[in-house]
Amino acid sequence: MNAAMLEKLASQISHLLPENAGRDIKDNVQQLLARQLNKLDLVSRDEFEAQQSVLLRTREKLDALEKQFQTLEAQLNGQ
């Protein structure tokens, strides 16, 4: 998760804290949030879209191979 997104999320959480909460508490919230988010098994949008594209091409190749197999199977059964 990038630093800007983490800062934005921490900022939103810090708005929930009382006004007199010190900067130390806000820093701790940000650090805790960063640790917890890093534990999650997340991928970036770019990586997700790249894998989605690879999966689509693989599906298309599999469909073509299945059709080719059915054609060859029909030819063998016809003889």
Q: How confident is the model at residue 53 (pLDDT cuts 50, 70, 90)?
A: very high
The pTM for the full model equals 0.51
pLDDT above 80: residue 14: no
Residue 59: exposure state from Cβ atoms within 10 A (0-12, 13-18, ≥19): exposed
pLDDT 10s digits, 54-78: 999 999 999 999 999 999 999 999 8
Give the pair of three-digit tokens for residue 13.
């959480």
pLDDT of residue 50: 96
Q: What is the mean pLDDT of residues 15-22?
A: 70
pLDDT above 80: residue 3: no
